[in-house]
Structure 1
Amino acid sequence: MSAVPLRFQPGDSLTIRDGTGGTVLWLVVERKRGGYLLKPQDGCDPRTWSDDELDDAYGTRRLILYPCNLAGLPKSLTEVLDKTWEYWPEEIRQEAQRRLVYVTMAETLRSSHSTWLDAFKAAAEAVYSAYRDRWTAEDRELMAKRAGEARGRRRKSTWGSVELDASSPVRKPHPLTLRRWYQRWNQNGRDIRMLISQQHRRGKRRPGIPHVPGAADHYVLMKEAVEKHYLSMPRKRKTYAYRKYEDACRAVQLHPASYRTFRLFIERSYTDYEEYQRRYGRRAAYKKFGIFERTELPQRPLEEVELDHCLIDLIVTHPITGRPLGRPWLTALLDRVTRVILGVHLSFEVPSYASLQRALAHAFWKKDLSGIEGLEHDWPCHGIPEWIFTDNGRELRSDSLRLSEAMLDFGVVNLPVKSPWLKGAVERLFGSIGVQVFSHQEGTVLSRTKDFYNPVERARRSLFEISRILLKWIVDDYHITEHPALGVAPLEKWLQLTTLYPVRPVPSFDQIIRMTGELITRSIQNVGVHYEGLLYADKKVLEDLRARRGRLDKKWTLRIDPYDFGEIAILDDETGQWHVLPCTDQDISRHVSKYQHRVHKLMAKRNLAAGMPITVEHLRKAKAMAEESVRIRFEHETRTKTAARAARYDSNGETFTPLAGGSLTANHKPFSLATAVLPSPVSASVQTEMPAAPVPVPLPSLPTPPSPSSIHSDLEDEVERISELWFKNMR
């Protein structure tokens, strides 16, 4: 397997674990031919590590990257790096994210200014003007949230929080302050934790007396009338807003200004773009005032990556019964400059945060194809991109994804809606996959003669078979075939450019695991931690956390795997480390996804009288009922929409291919559509060589239930419909 050179900067620190289990801290000195010169921090002689040695240590999870010199950091910054990002209070993290906006803007504006100080001045002004109102509203919302929590606890806020004054506006930083932020951030690996405020090291200070604004004047009344009655939708005329302004003046006994003065106030206070955007929408303003130009391809690999979801053009069948299940979803990441496919995810899970993070993990980490037979080439494409261009899906604008951006230092560009040409490379890739892979298989929906070809009846391939066919096409066809836009094969282009521009690796495999988790907050009760009706407990861990002073009513930070409720992780706010808490009822939680658990809860609730609590025994019976209903759908369902719901219920969250060094899930699910292989009724003319697998025992025959109505993409609606249908059919 060929090693992809990893990119390290001089001054970075690497911890490498040797064969005996000992860990040595190394300092990156410089890049050598075919490797790096590393100096150990214990005073021994430096040595050169080859790219193969570093790649082997990275793939076997023996190497952890710290993009700074740990030995030369001040004590205050070392204490910050010892803690995880989630350790810090929300107010401090919010301030660090705002500082990150300032320093990145200053770096962007540096080329257009003669000195760094001028760039800092321009960045401070630009960011302050763009984000002042938004950040002020966030401060007010956070202030109201903290006030509600304090009223609920009947006491003051906990140590470490930043007291906010909702009446005071956001302050613009001084250029010299901005220079200090930038130097500390740039010299220490551009870690967002370097921008964390040091206010937690100070004593508490009471806020000053809040400023009381003066009485309303003409400009205040005009601004209120314009904002409320002219620049809001549905659109109204200026004369209507002027009449509302006159009414407001009479209410406070002021003589109103003339209509001409009112119009001049609008023209001088708002640009044409702002006025048009507020009245007609952002997209309409973008089309009317935007400047459109061609963009050139980037120069470095992973500089720009496109991401998108696609419902594949093929009906997939069940591996045991051969019944059609519907069309799975495909998520793909494509590098713009080399056109290699960095990672994919194929499952019946609709586009969500869980499927997105599985695809990102597959793209960011090394892939292990050693256990897959029938492949002639490797897939050496991985690394952290600089920018990801994608659409405006809910999961692509989530706070969890924003946290992943800050932790791994990459950016997500949410393109305007209904503009697929802005990420045309991945759209073209989906078209090529549909034509070159799926159109040759039985069950394709690309046929133009629907009256003579029924894709549901002709479907023959299972999800596992389609995954292996797609994998072989990627590594043995697409990557090694000359691309029309490049003139060379994508894999050849990738190997050429990564030699000149090494890829940026993920610091450790734990970062990949944490990126797939969903963050929540819960308190520790005297029996453990409750979440979604399940109990998680580890006596030794929870007793230590709960016994600390002031921790009885604390909301602890938890991380859950949306594909496995068998365990959760809790963050120790003093050590900054995660502890694993197993569920006390493994038979109803292990390998149970969030979607499955909500189905179980709703089915159990429908079987109880109003007001009765749901017990573990009820969930156990509901789980058995749901699994039996899934078997019914896989045996007898004729409508693909209903069968697709059942297939989504059966998803296990595994990545498209194994990852080097480990798996995202704690244990593999005993049976799932993603891993089961059976000889489905495929004709000899369309069969290809597939890895051999044992044949499971067929399921027993059960009555055919009625079909439900159309599918809904919203999770709550989906759970409501599938649980109601299954419950009625199993009674």
Structure 2
Amino acid sequence: MKNDLFSVGSVFNLENNQFIVSQTKKDGFKASNLRNSSTLTFTYEKAQELIDTHALIFQKDSLSQTEVSFEDLPQEEQKLALKKLKLIELLAERRITKVSGTEKTKKAILDLSSDAGFTKAPHWQSVRKWCIEFTDAAGKIKGLYTNKNLRGNRKYRLSAIVEEIIDTEIDSFIRPSQPRISTLCRNIETEIIKYNLDNPTNVQRIPTRNTIIKRLNKTNLERRQRASKGSSTYELGLADSIAPFSTTHILERVEIDHTPLDIHLIHDVDSTLIGRPTLTALSDYHSGIVLGFQLSFEAASFAAVSSACLNAFLPKQEEIERLNIQGSWESHGIPETLVTDNGNEFWSDNFSEVGMQLGMVIQYAPIRHPNYKGAIERLFGSINTLFLDDLPGVVRKPHKKNDRYDPRQEALIPFTKFKCDFYDWVVNVYNNLPNEDGVTPKEIWNSSAKQQPIPIEDNLEVQLALLASHGATLMGNGISFLGLKYNSDAQKSLFRRDGKHKVSFKVNPYDLGEILVFDSRELVYITVPCLEYNYAKGTSIYEHREYKRIARKYKNQKLNNQDLMLAKIRQKNERDKIRGQNARRKTQVTTQKHTRIEKIGAPTFDLIPSNSSKSNEVPVEQTTVIKVKTEDWDIE
């Protein structure tokens, strides 16, 4: 028995039920009931027994043996049969039961065709044929079926030998390397010529290219797609475009992701090219509203994630007013479940700690299933089509742009102007776009918030949770982090009390001027400044590492503060040099690395009190103690 009889999509009748083959294996197949979606598993031997006893009949074979019901016809054939019946009834009302070629009959058919639903009047001979078939069927509508399934020559015109050669070559053709159709045709031609030379008395005709293509297209689509695209890509294409998630209220499910925006921006001061910004956004699944985002040149990292979460979890009205944007952005709050992809920044210990501190469940999307995060992916698609599409400097795909188009040379929008426009678009356009039901994300959010009010989170606690945690050994001379020393009178008191021991501390990734050291005994955070405060204040972790790299380049001995200060000067001179070159040249290059060093678009963490003093004295005497609320902690 050939397994091809039960290829995916084949329909057969068994015990007054119709089944469709849904999955095939080496030793059998699985079939689903067309009525109740129940499934049955068959072996090929069992299926052959059912065929031999006529218990299992293929649908294509049963059509010529049994009567087809009106409901089983395609919709087009049902409509055509009803039109024929209507025309015959209208003719009968005019007492025309036998159709002939008389002028009276022709005029009646012409007048009544539009009432029967025909756009063009049928020929009188066709109508006469319908009347005869309708009478032969005892006045039943089955006599008006077109029976397209019984038309044509059902026997293959090629010989069994050529058929076998074609099937064999197609089996070898469907493989991951996917050779060309012309190669398949040549191989079939070669095999037939070989057969003709061995059998001169039984010469076989070589099929045409169209015949071979038609025969190839009749093979199982699943098999062809798996061979050409791969099993993973094929199964992804069968997945639902929208993940079947059901939510009842806002913040029940929130999705987060990064994307580089398809646009080049310029510097606010000297108008030189700085490159493409990165957007980290959070979208509420229930309402579709943008919960928050971070727009900067920071790479996909925990710092970018924490900055976006800080914007999303806290109220944003002050930021809206600062940017002079008309409108309101009500969304805020900590989500119950935060859905992420499998990036390293989401699998980090710091991110897991954020989830535990804020009470969020972190849920990771399956690999290579972007539809699992459909809300955030739709947001990114809307940004490209509704906001960025007609802006100067937009990045086009290679097949959708002129060969001479260079988005870097078309860039005209400064970063701050773009950020304000993007805020305005999110607040006043995207959050007010109606969905398929005619309801906007903002209306859904406000309605759900009335039923279940969202509390305003404590600013200090949220910022504390979103800062990255690190560990170090507290020594008599303080704590060392990234080659920088941190110490204060309060920290010395910890050393005098507990001696040398491990401590945890939190760091602002955009400002190494101070760190927050946690006193595990008293449950308080102590602000400890850097001993090289003039250098570290306002310096980000990325910026500090770049300075160390430059200092190593010019000096291979132990780094000290003087080396880093000189590196800082050289980095500033390098940025000015590139911008000066860009200002004088027609073809500009991006300065995205230097833009990241300048922290353009980076948020401001107000957790640590800023110190405006730039004197050479280290302000070690200014120590801030932050108490941690422990009333709701569970003691084990």
Interval containing the TM-score (normalised by the shorter chain)? 0.5 to 0.7
> For 1:425, what is the secondary structure of its paired residue?
helix
The residue correspondences of 1:110-509 to structure 2 (distance < 5 A) are 295-367=244-316, 368-369=318-319, 371-372=321-322, 374-446=324-396, 448-484=400-436, 486-506=437-457, 508-509=458-459
Q: Deviations over 1:288-318 (max 9, x none)?
A: 9x99895143110011111111110110111
- Aligned counterparts of 1:644 and 1:669: Cα–Cα separation in 2: 28
The residue correspondences of 1:668-679 to structure 2 (distance < 5 A) are none
Change (3 A) 1:640 1:531: farther
Q: Deviations over 1:188-215 (max 9, x none)?
A: xxxxxxxxxxxxxxxxxxxxxxxxxxxx
- Aligned counterparts of 2:424 and 2:341: Cα–Cα separation in 1: 28
1:575 and 2:522 aligned = yes
Q: Equivalent residue for 2:463?
A: 513
Aligned residues: CA RMSD = 2.8
- Aligned counterparts of 1:306 and 1:493: Cα–Cα separation in 2: 17
- Aligned counterparts of 2:508 and 2:234: Cα–Cα separation in 1: 39
> For 2:505, what is the secondary structure of its paired residue?
strand
- Aligned counterparts of 2:324 and 2:501: Cα–Cα separation in 1: 54
Deviation for aligned residue 1:524: 2.6
Deviation for aligned residue 1:416: 1.5
> For 2:474, what is the secondary structure of its paired residue?
coil
1:617 and 2:568 aligned = no
Quick check: 1:652–1:669 contact (8 Å CA) kept in 2? no
Deviation for aligned residue 1:528: 2.1
Q: Identity of paired residues, percent? A: 26
Read off the aligned partner of 1:376 and give its amino acid letter: Q
1:634 and 2:579 aligned = yes
- Aligned counterparts of 1:509 and 1:373: Cα–Cα separation in 2: 20
> For 2:322, what is the secondary structure of its paired residue?
coil
> For 1:319, what is the secondary structure of its paired residue?
coil
Q: Deviations over 1:607-657 (max 9, x none)?
A: 224xx21111111101111121122223324787751111111115643xx
- Aligned counterparts of 2:337 and 2:539: Cα–Cα separation in 1: 34
- The two structures have a TM-score, normalised by structure 1, of 0.48
- Aligned counterparts of 1:303 and 1:520: Cα–Cα separation in 2: 31
Q: 4+ runs of 1 displaced by more than 4 Å?
A: 283-288, 290-294, 637-642, 664-670
Deviation for aligned residue 1:400: 0.9
- Aligned counterparts of 2:484 and 2:361: Cα–Cα separation in 1: 36
- Aligned counterparts of 2:463 and 2:504: Cα–Cα separation in 1: 16
1:603 and 2:550 aligned = yes
Q: Which is worse superposed, 329-338 or 363-372?
A: 363-372
- Aligned counterparts of 2:485 and 2:292: Cα–Cα separation in 1: 35
1:563 and 2:510 aligned = yes
Change (3 A) 1:285 1:575: farther
- For residue 597 of structure 2, the aligned residue among 640, 649, 654 is 649
Change (3 A) 1:653 1:519: farther
Read off the aligned partner of 1:579 and give its amino acid letter: I
- Aligned counterparts of 1:321 and 1:291: Cα–Cα separation in 2: 49
Change (3 A) 1:625 1:465: same
Change (3 A) 1:523 1:294: closer
Deviation for aligned residue 1:559: 1.1
Deviation for aligned residue 1:286: 13
- Aligned counterparts of 1:652 and 1:590: Cα–Cα separation in 2: 16
Q: Equivalent residue for 1:542?
A: 491
Read off the aligned partner of 1:604 and give its amino acid letter: A
Change (3 A) 1:520 1:296: closer
Change (3 A) 1:356 1:375: same
Read off the aligned partner of 2:519 and give its amino acid letter: D
Give the unaligned 5+ runs of structure 1.
1-282, 671-731
- Aligned counterparts of 1:516 and 1:315: Cα–Cα separation in 2: 29
- Aligned counterparts of 1:461 and 1:653: Cα–Cα separation in 2: 15
> For 2:429, what is the secondary structure of its paired residue?
helix
- Aligned counterparts of 1:554 and 1:412: Cα–Cα separation in 2: 32
Deviation for aligned residue 1:501: 1.9
Give the unaligned 5+ runs of structure 2.
1-230, 614-636
- Aligned counterparts of 1:466 and 1:445: Cα–Cα separation in 2: 15
Deviation for aligned residue 1:553: 2.4
- Aligned counterparts of 1:474 and 1:623: Cα–Cα separation in 2: 37
> For 2:295, what is the secondary structure of its paired residue?
strand
Quick check: 1:315–1:324 contact (8 Å CA) kept in 2? yes
Quick check: 1:522–1:555 contact (8 Å CA) kept in 2? yes
- Aligned counterparts of 1:454 and 1:339: Cα–Cα separation in 2: 34
Read off the aligned partner of 2:279 and give its amino acid letter: L
Q: Deviations over 1:159-200 (max 9, x none)?
A: xxxxxxxxxxxxxxxxxxxxxxxxxxxxxxxxxxxxxxxxxx
Deviation for aligned residue 1:446: 3.0
Quick check: 1:563–1:591 contact (8 Å CA) kept in 2? yes
Deviation for aligned residue 1:523: 2.1
- Aligned counterparts of 2:612 and 2:373: Cα–Cα separation in 1: 36
Deviation for aligned residue 1:525: 2.7
Read off the aligned partner of 1:618 and give its amino acid letter: D
Deviation for aligned residue 1:434: 1.4
Change (3 A) 1:606 1:374: closer
Read off the aligned partner of 2:373 and give its amino acid letter: K
Change (3 A) 1:294 1:649: closer
Q: Deviations over 1:300-354 (max 9, x none)?
A: 0011111111110110111122221111100111111111100000001111000
Higher RCO structure (Cα 8 Å, ≥6 apart) = 1
Q: Deviations over 1:12-59 (max 9, x none)?
A: xxxxxxxxxxxxxxxxxxxxxxxxxxxxxxxxxxxxxxxxxxxxxxxx
Q: Deviations over 1:368-403 (max 9, x none)?
A: 246335522111100111111121000111111111
Quick check: 1:516–1:561 contact (8 Å CA) kept in 2? no
Quick check: 2:256–2:339 contact (8 Å CA) kept in 1? yes
Q: Deviations over 1:666-717 (max 9, x none)?
A: 54999xxxxxxxxxxxxxxxxxxxxxxxxxxxxxxxxxxxxxxxxxxxxxxx
The residue correspondences of 1:25-40 to structure 2 (distance < 5 A) are none
- Aligned counterparts of 2:357 and 2:256: Cα–Cα separation in 1: 19
> For 2:579, what is the secondary structure of its paired residue?
helix
- Aligned counterparts of 1:406 and 1:453: Cα–Cα separation in 2: 48
> For 2:282, what is the secondary structure of its paired residue?
strand
Change (3 A) 1:331 1:575: same
1:587 and 2:534 aligned = yes
Q: Deviations over 1:108-131 (max 9, x none)?
A: xxxxxxxxxxxxxxxxxxxxxxxx
Quick check: 1:563–1:652 contact (8 Å CA) kept in 2? no
- Aligned counterparts of 2:434 and 2:286: Cα–Cα separation in 1: 14
Number of equivalences: 375
- The two structures have a TM-score, normalised by structure 2, of 0.55
Read off the aligned partner of 1:650 and give its amino acid letter: E
> For 2:402, what is the secondary structure of its paired residue?
coil
Quick check: 1:334–1:426 contact (8 Å CA) kept in 2? yes
